[in-house]
């Protein structure tokens, strides 16, 4: 049992931390978020040069080693800085599913350009009625001669507006929530019949509702086996869920630190508001929430890197997301409350951190969903 | 960073498991499983078995008879002990006075007191709190006035757990009333058999006596029983408070309690023909507790890991006390709710050996109402959870 960072992890943390401190202050971040694409392609290229885009991939695929702990180290820094570049969407979600399902040819074509920073991907999995059930897929894939025809709508496609290619889950057979019958396809965003409605999410990142109207794609666009991608999808989303937890842990630490600092400078009734015990104990509770969130995220990341069974890993992930979700609610709300009116303003970074973590709280399932999933996985044992 | 036990750790766990299976007396195990209280003699008997094995004091340095285990091994040992329900040593000697003796006692004092603690020959209790000094401990008034080679002690202490069984008490006493309150306190060891020492049992709301009030009426205490320097006692006590924080999180106990809760819920009817474990609200809340326990366990492991690389545990360990006790209390609440009106009987004697006559039903956890009442103490003692939050604010957040 070892809780220390390896030398490589230490370097990764310093590398990301240095970038964030020197080139990603709050104003720069806001300028990037408000730009036309909502992210900086220059930064993205830099991430490619620095090797960050290879982190969550196997060495066999040309990656850095695909360690969940490595990823946790990075995501925590991204969370502190409220990074809007689509690392989670393009690399951790879509990239890792491509790595899991793609043929050597498909990987050679897309994965390597992704890692080099020359390609943007997005994973289109959620549908308007699916909530957090990954098996709930209604978008249909119909075989038509040598081609497939996709028909249906995806929502909350993270990085959808900027993706060159979309990984789309689609149903080839079975009922709407059957675990069998779900396939994945790689589709050009520019393909005929693909209609992207772009919007920004609470956290400032880019997302889209994407309608696929009779979109014709070649058979070679299918990733993995016909109708058999759910397990891989679940594992990829679980991995991304731990990345989300780590991102939240970084953001929650920033919220705590900013709140404590503010309470030491803001004066009312002639004294610093941090001298009031009514506020002190709430900040002590925020500290404890941050520590518990960090601990359970570390646990889940270590489990993902271990030889434990798939069910144990899934349970660990749900435990983490459930607990981090609660910490988000408590720490986020208290940070705004203790800041008072200024915490409500768009001008202050606190409100943006709050927006970010509120989005992370819902992504891939909120605390109640993951508590329930954890319970089911425990009972199944 | 990895959560795996090394092959050596796994071998150690097997060794501990085998030892506990074979050596933890079966009749004691049955009692623990049935919720019957162990007697002082039984706890001493178990401690002596551990002593023979060389495992009586996992956290002591080797030169005083400790084990020399790594942080991981100590964790494994505590966990296995907790899972089988083996009682921990009574903490007052082993975990509280012993570290002070090791750090500040003279060699003579160490030789005089430590071996008897290690072998459980002598029981200690703690003399800190006073009727008017609770959270504001430094305001304590029990006085020790030097008279030749002795101190004359007058005053009273309270909340002395197992004071009725104790042979010795370690006390914070006031030796100087003219200085700042923290600077006039000394650390004194007092033989409970000294003339002028008396005690009064305090019955708690669960009907049980585990704490006492202890009175000192012109008690003569040899000055040789003073630890370290006069008027430095507060410093010694404070150092102690940031050490020996192992297992304040109650992780092994809560692990065992949650397993028992799951078993009980699986066998209990929800009143409509289903099992309580399948009750959606119950199972959701049960899962929340299991998740909280994981978060707590990994917080403790992270703290232990930073200890093993030589960092001071520091005030961060206050989090273990707060979260650990609040989780334990939430588990108690779940037990009460699970047992429903079977939690209502007020039968304090049902935890005593040989008790007959409780209207107990097979499979229904007994006396959970009383356990719930008793464990309200957890968030009060050892520095109330509000005091722990103060510590976090001051020492961690700099408020």
Exposure pattern of A156-170 as b/e (b: 16+ CB <10 Å)? bbbbbbbbbbbbbbb
**pLDDT for A234-281, tens place per residue?**
999 999 999 999 999 999 999 999 999 999 999 999 999 999 999 999
> Average pLDDT of B323-343?
95
Those residues with Cβ within 8 angstroms of residue A268's Cβ, 6 or more apart along the chain or in another chain: none
Q: Do B396 and A319 touch (CB under 8 A)?
A: no
CA-CA-CA-CA dihedral for A46, A47, A52, A57, to nearest 10: -110
Q: Which of residues 274-303 of A touch B (CB under 8 A)?
A: 274-275, 277, 280-281, 283-285, 287-288, 291-296, 298-299, 301-303
pLDDT tens-digit readout, A2-35? 888 999 999 999 999 999 999 999 999 999 999 9
Give me the percent of chain B exceeding a pLDDT of 70. Answer: 95
Between the alpha carbon of residue A373 and those of residues A142, A186, A362, B331, the distances in Å are 32, 29, 15, 21
pLDDT band at A69 (very low <50, low <70, confident <90, very high): very high
CB contact under 8 A, A280 and B290: no
Q: Is A265 on the interface with B (CB under 8 A)?
A: no
| pLDDT at residue A81 is higher than 70 | yes
Q: Are B342 and B372 in contact (CB under 8 A)?
A: no
Q: Are strands A271-272 and A267-268 parallel, antiparallel or unpaired?
A: antiparallel
How many CB atoms are located within 10 Å of the residue B249 CB? 27
Query: Does the pLDDT at position B246 exceed 70?
Result: no
Provide, as residue numbers in chain A, all residues whose Cβ is less than 8 Å from the Cβ of B388. 284
Structural domains of chain B, ranges and CATH numbers in brackets: 7-89 (no CATH), 122-232 (2.40.110.10), 245-396 (1.20.140.10)
Round the CA-based radius of gyration of chain B to a whole number and report it.
22
pLDDT: is B193 or B383 the higher one? B193
CB contact under 8 A, B399 and A274: yes
| Whether the predicted pLDDT of A63 surpasses 70 | yes
Q: Please tell me the distance in Å from B115's CA to the nearest CA on chain A.
A: 33
pLDDT of B309 reads: 61
Is residue B314 over pLDDT 70? Answer: no
Q: What is the mean pLDDT of residues A194-223?
A: 97
Residue of A275, A283, A299 lying closest to B3 (CB–CB): A299
The secondary structure of A164-224 as a DSSP string is: SEEEEEEESSS-TT-STTEEEEEEETTSTTEEEEEEE-TTS-EEEEEEEEEEEEEGGGEES
Q: Report domain extents, chain A.
A: 7-119, 122-223, 230-380
Digit-coded pLDDT (tens) for B9-63: 999 999 999 999 999 999 999 888 888 889 999 999 999 999 999 999 998 999 9
Residue contact B283–A379, C-beta within 8 A = yes
* Average of per-residue pLDDT across A323-345: 98
On the question of pLDDT at B310 being above 60, the answer is no
pLDDT computed for residue B242 by the predictor: 62
Q: Is B10 on the interface with A (CB under 8 A)?
A: no
ipTM surpassing 0.85: yes
> What confidence score (pLDDT) does residue B365 get?
79
If one counts every other C-beta atom within 10 angstroms of the C-beta of residue B27, the result is: 9
Q: What is the pLDDT of residue B89?
A: 82
Instruction: Say whether B169 sits in a helix, a strand or coil.
Output: strand
* Residue B2, pLDDT score: 79
pLDDT at B245: 61
* Greater model confidence, A151 or B95: A151
- With H, G, I as helix, E, B as strand and everything else as coil, classify residue B310: coil
The answer to whether the Cβ–Cβ distance between A306 and B277 falls below 8 Å is no
Which residues from chain A sit within 8 angstroms of residue B301, using beta carbons?
1, 3, 295
Helix or strand or coil: residue B69? coil
Check residue A187 and give its pLDDT.
98
Assess if CATH 2.40.110.10 describes domain A122-223: yes
- Contact assessment for residue A53 and residue A114, using Cβ atoms and an 8 Å cutoff: yes
Q: Which CATH superfamily is domain A7-119 in?
A: Acyl-CoA dehydrogenase/oxidase, N-terminal domain (1.10.540.10)
Please check whether residue A263 touches B, CB under 8 A: yes
- Which residues of chain B neighbour A371 with C-beta distances below 8 Å? 284, 287-288, 291
Side-chain half-sphere exposure of B108, counting CA atoms within 13 A: 5
The chain-wide mean pLDDT, for chain A, equals: 97
* Tokens read off for A275: 């001298």
CATH superfamily of A230-380: Butyryl-CoA Dehydrogenase, subunit A, domain 3 (1.20.140.10)
The pLDDT-based confidence of B72 (bands split at 50, 70, 90) is confident
* CA–CA separation, B167 and B160 (whole Å): 12
Q: Are A293 and A327 in contact (CB under 8 A)?
A: yes
3-state secondary structure of B314: helix
Residue pLDDT, tens place only, B77-116: 999 999 999 998 888 999 899 999 999 999 999 999 999 9
- Token couple for B367: 């006396």
Tokens linked to A146: 């040598």
Judge contact between A356 and A332, C-beta under 8 A: no
Handedness of CA B326, B328, B330, B336 (dihedral sign): negative
| pLDDT more than 90, % of chain B | 79
Angstroms from B175 CA to nearest CA on chain A: 32
pLDDT value, residue B308: 63
The phi, psi pair for B350, rounded to 5°, reads -70, -15
Contact of B311 with chain A, judged by CB distance below 8 Å, is answered with no
Pairs of residues, one from chain A and one from chain B, whose beta carbons lie less than 8 Å apart: 129
Q: Which residue of A has its CA nearest to B5?
A: A1
Q: What per-residue confidence (pLDDT) applies to B36?
A: 86
Q: Across the interface, do A298 and B9 touch by the CB < 8 Å criterion?
A: no
Residues A52-76 have a mean pLDDT of 97
d(Cα B203, Cα B200) in Å, to the nearest integer? 10
Place of tokens 């992704």: A114
Candidate from A1, A4, A285 with C-beta closest to B3: A1
Q: Among the residues of A62-166, which ranges form H helices? A: 68-81, 96-101, 104-106, 112-116
Put simply, the answer to whether B284 touches A375 (Cβ < 8 Å) is yes
The alpha carbon of B30 is separated from its chain's Cα centroid by a whole number of angstroms, namely 22
CA-based nearest distance B356→chain A, Å: 36
Instruction: Quote the tokens at residue B359.
Output: 């209207």
B1, B296, B302, B317: best to mutate for the A interface, most A CBs within 10 A:
B1
The mean pLDDT of chain B is 92
What residues of chain A, 41 to 100, have a C-beta less than 8 Å from chain B?
69
Residue carrying the six token digits 């498909």: A106
Q: Does A291 sit within 8 Å of B389, measured CB to CB?
A: no
A301: alpha, beta or left? (left if phi > 0; alpha if psi -120 to 50)? alpha
CB–CB contact A2 B2 (8 Å): yes
Q: Decide if B319 touches A, using CB distance below 8 A.
A: yes
CA A94, A96, A99, A101 torsion: positive or negative? negative
pLDDT for B60 equals 92
The answer to whether A49 and A83 are in contact (CB under 8 A) is no
Contact with chain A for residue B386, Cβ under 8 A: yes
* pLDDT level of residue B305 (50, 70, 90 thresholds): confident
Q: Stretch A340-346: mean pLDDT, rounded?
A: 97
DSSP string for residues in A235-273: HHHHHHHHHHHHHHHHHHHHHHHHHHHHHHH-EETTEEG
Rounded CA gap, A124 and A155, in Å? 7
Query: Would the pTM count as exceeding 0.90?
Result: yes
User: What is the tens place of the pLDDT at every residue in A189-208?
Assistant: 999 999 999 999 999 999 99
Q: Give chain B positions within 8 Å (CB) of A301.
A: 1
> Which of B387, B333, B277 is closest to A379 using CA atoms?
B277
With a cut of 80, say whether residue B311 has pLDDT above it.
Answer: no
Question: Measured between CB atoms, which of B3, B287, B306 is closest to A306?
Answer: B3
Closest by Cα among B320, B343, B318, B341 to B332: B343
């Amino acid at each position: 049992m070892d809780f220390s960072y390896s030398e490589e992890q230490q370097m990764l943390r310093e590398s990301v931390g240095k970038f964030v401190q020197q080139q990603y202050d709050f104003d720069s971040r806001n300028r990037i978020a408000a730009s036309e694409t909502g992210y900086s392609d220059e930064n993205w290229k830099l991430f490619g040069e620095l090797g960050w885009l290879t982190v969550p991939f196997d060495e066999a695929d040309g990656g850095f080693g695909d360690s969940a702990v490595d990823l946790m180290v990075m995501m925590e820094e991204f969370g502190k800085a409220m990074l809007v570049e689509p690392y989670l969407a393009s690399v951790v979600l879509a990239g890792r599913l491509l790595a899991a399902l793609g043929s050597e040819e498909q990987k050679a074509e897309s994965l390597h350009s992704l890692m080099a920073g020359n390609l943007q991907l997005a994973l289109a999995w959620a549908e308007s009625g699916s909530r957090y059930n990954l098996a709930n897929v209604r978008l249909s894939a119909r075989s038509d001669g040598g081609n497939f025809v996709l028909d249906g709508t995806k929502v909350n496609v993270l990085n959808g507006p900027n993706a060159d290619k979309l990984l789309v889950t689609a149903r080839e057979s079975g009922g709407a929530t059957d675990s069998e019958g779900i396939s994945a396809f790689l589709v050009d965003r520019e393909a005929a019949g693909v209609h992207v409605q772009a919007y920004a999410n609470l956290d400032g990142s880019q997302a889209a509702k994407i309608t696929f109207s009779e979109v014709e794609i070649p058979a070679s666009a299918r990733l993995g086996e016909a109708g058999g991608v759910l397990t891989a999808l679940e594992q990829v989303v679980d991995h991304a869920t731990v990345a989300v937890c780590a991102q939240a842990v970084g953001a929650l630490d920033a919220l705590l630190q900013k709140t404590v600092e503010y309470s030491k400078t803001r004066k009312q009734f002639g004294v610093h508001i941090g001298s009031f015990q009514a506020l002190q104990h709430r900040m002590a509770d925020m500290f404890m929430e941050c520590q518990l969130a960090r601990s359970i995220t570390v646990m889940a990341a270590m489990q993902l890197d271990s030889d434990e069974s798939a069910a144990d890993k899934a349970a660990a992930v749900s435990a983490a997301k459930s607990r981090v979700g609660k910490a988000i609610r408590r720490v986020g709300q208290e940070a705004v409350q203790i800041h008072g009116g200024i915490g409500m303003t768009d001008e202050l970074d606190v409100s943006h951190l709050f927006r970010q973590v509120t989005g992370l709280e819902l992504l891939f399932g909120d605390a109640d969903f993951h508590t329930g999933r954890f319970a089911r996985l425990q009972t199944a044992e | 960073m990895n959560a795996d036990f090394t092959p050596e750790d796994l071998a150690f766990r097997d060794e501990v498991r085998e030892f506990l299976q074979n050596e933890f007396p079966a009749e004691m195990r049955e009692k623990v499983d049935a919720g019957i209280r162990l007697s002082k003699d039984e706890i001493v008997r178990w401690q002596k078995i551990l002593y023979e094995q060389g495992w009586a004091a996992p956290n002591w340095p080797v030169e005083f008879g400790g084990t020399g285990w790594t942080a991981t091994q100590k964790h494994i040992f505590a966990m296995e002990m907790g899972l089988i329900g083996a009682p921990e040593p009574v903490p007052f000697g082993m975990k509280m006075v012993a570290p002070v003796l090791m750090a500040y006692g003279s060699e003579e004092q160490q030789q005089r007191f430590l071996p008897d603690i290690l072998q459980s020959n002598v029981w200690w209790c703690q003399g800190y709190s006073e009727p008017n000094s609770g959270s504001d401990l430094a305001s304590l008034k029990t006085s020790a006035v030097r008279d030749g080679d002795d101190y004359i002690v007058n005053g009273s202490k309270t909340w002395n757990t197992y004071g009725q069984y104790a042979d010795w008490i370690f006390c914070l006493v006031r030796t100087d009333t003219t200085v700042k309150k923290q600077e006039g306190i000394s650390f004194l060891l007092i033989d409970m058999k000294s003339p002028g020492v008396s005690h009064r049992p305090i019955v708690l709301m669960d009907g049980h006596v585990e704490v006492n009030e202890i009175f000192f009426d012109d008690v003569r205490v040899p000055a040789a029983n003073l630890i370290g320097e006069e008027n430095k006692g507060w410093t010694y006590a404070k150092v102690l408070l940031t050490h020996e924080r192992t297992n304040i999180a109650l992780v092994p106990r809560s692990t065992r309690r949650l397993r028992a809760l799951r078993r009980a819920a699986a066998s209990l009817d929800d009143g409509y023909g289903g099992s309580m474990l399948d009750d959606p609200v119950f199972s959701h809340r049960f899962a929340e507790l299991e998740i909280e326990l994981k978060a707590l366990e990994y917080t403790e492991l992270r703290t232990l890991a930073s200890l093993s690389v030589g960092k001071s545990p520091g005030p961060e360990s206050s989090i273990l006390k707060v979260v650990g006790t609040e989780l334990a209390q939430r588990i108690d609440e779940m037990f009460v709710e699970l047992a429903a009106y079977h939690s209502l009987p007020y039968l304090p004697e049902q935890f005593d050996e040989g008790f007959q006559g409780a209207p107990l039903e097979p499979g229904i956890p007994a006396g959970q109402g009383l356990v719930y009442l008793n464990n309200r103490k957890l968030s009060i003692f050892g520095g109330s959870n509000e005091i722990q939050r103060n510590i976090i604010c001051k020492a961690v957040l700099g408020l």
